[in-house]
Amino acid sequence: MSPDAASPEVPAGIRVHPRVGDLEATLRLALSGESLVRAKESLARRTTLRVGGWADLLVEPGHEADLACVVVEANRLGVPWRVLGRGSNVLVRDGGVRGLVIVLGRPAFAVIEAASPLLRCGAGVRLNALSAEARRLGLGGLEFLAGIPGTVGGALRMNAGAWNAMTFEKLEAVRSMGPDGSVMEQPSGAIPAAYRRCDFFRENIALGGVFRGEPCSSREVEARLDELNRRRWATQPAAPSAGCIFKNPSVIPAGRLVDELGLKGTRIGGAVVSDVHGNFIVNDGQATARDVLGLIELIRRRAREERGVELETEVEIIGE
């Protein structure tokens, strides 16, 4: 097993889950050498917004058998667990996460197998890598994934999308692991998915998916990627963020609503509503999760009081 970094001291007032120590000891003996186990791991550095506390225990299983062991042992000991992808749509509260955080970041989960026009991708595959492989093979229709700073697992869990396309629209099959460690693969149509959510993955772990591309020339795919990248950099901030904070209401896009409310540039601590896109909150380098949450509530209150619109967060808020 890969050695872990030195664990920091637990800050005053934070109490780790009482069975985490037992789980850590068990996993250090049971998992393969490809796995990584870290106690008191900072989650701020594992999320794109760069805020939040840390997990009592973080594990990167080496492969599926290790993952099954992690899940089974955590359940046996009564330690709550959750899966974290690249952290691009997550806001971790400053108190961190009690229990176990699982990250599918080892090479075994980042494999792409091509059988054109199908691409079988592990949960740890970055979406820009998936898009790049599709371009190499002359497969279109997956360009929208290139600018989403996440992984296949996160895209499945959130039915991620951009430019009027969504993940589940491009899927043929989904591979997953149940809470008992069992693995299954099923047609994507058998799994209900909605706008920015897939409830199936509240209890099950996404292991990967089979994507279908549309055969076309690499030149066409390249042109489409260039156009989307140009539009993305013109309309989205470069500073650390969690992506779009709110789901778009039916009556008006969230970014336009924030703009019309005159909230661009509004600041609480180190958290700022982006001047580039109103649906982004950026970290100026000094923000805390409390700052970001305060800004979210300010925006929601103004939208409710002045426009009668109830904004729902798209970003997932976790921790204490």
State residue 13's pLDDT score.
Answer: 61
Look at the domain 110-220 and name its fold: 3.30.465
SS (H, E, C) the chain: CECCCCCCCCCCCCCCCCCHHHHHHHHHHHCCCCCEEEEEEECHHHCCCCCCCEEEEEEECCCHHHHHHHHHHHHHHCCCEEECCCCCCEEECCCCEEEEEECCCCHHHCCEEEECCEEEEECCCEHHHHHHHHHHHCEECCHHHCCCCCEHHHHHHHCCEECCEEHHHHEEEEEEECCCCCEEEEEHHHCCCECCECHHHHCCEEEEEEEECEECCHHHHHHHHHHHHHHHHHHCCCCCECCCCECCCCCCCHHHHHHHCCCCCCEECCEEECCCCCCCEEECCCCCHHHHHHHHHHHHHHHHHHHCCCCCECCEEECC
Catalytic residue among 86, 120, 244, 316: 244
- Looking at the chain, the whole-number percentage of residues with pLDDT higher than 90 is 73
For CATH 3.90.78.10, list the domain ranges present in the chain: 238-318
Q: Is 216 a catalytic residue?
A: no
Highest mean pLDDT among 12-26, 29-43, 144-158: 29-43
Catalytic residue among 196, 198, 224, 316: 196
101-157 per-position pLDDT tens digit: 999 999 999 999 999 899 999 999 999 899 889 988 999 888 888 878 889 999 999
Q: Is 69 a catalytic residue?
A: no
Surface-to-core class of residue 219, CB atoms within 10 Å of its CB (0-12 exposed, 13-18 middle, 19+ buried): exposed
170-213 per-position pLDDT tens digit: 999 999 999 999 999 999 999 998 888 899 998 999 999 999 99
CATH class of this structure's domain 20-107: alpha beta
State residue 125's pLDDT score.
Answer: 96
Look at the domain 238-318 and name its fold: 3.90.78
Asked if 281 and 246 touch (Cβ cutoff 8 Å), the reply is: no
63-87 per-position pLDDT tens digit: 999 999 999 999 999 999 999 988 8
For CATH 3.30.43.10, list the domain ranges present in the chain: 20-107
pTM of the shown model: 0.87
260-299 per-position pLDDT tens digit: 999 999 999 999 999 999 999 999 999 999 999 999 999 9
44-54 per-position pLDDT tens digit: 999 999 999 99
Given a cut of 70, whether residue 5 has pLDDT beyond it is no
For CATH 3.30.465.10, list the domain ranges present in the chain: 110-220
203-220 per-position pLDDT tens digit: 999 999 999 999 988 788
State residue 8's pLDDT score.
Answer: 44
Q: Is 301 a catalytic residue?
A: no
Catalytic residue among 73, 133, 314, 316: 314
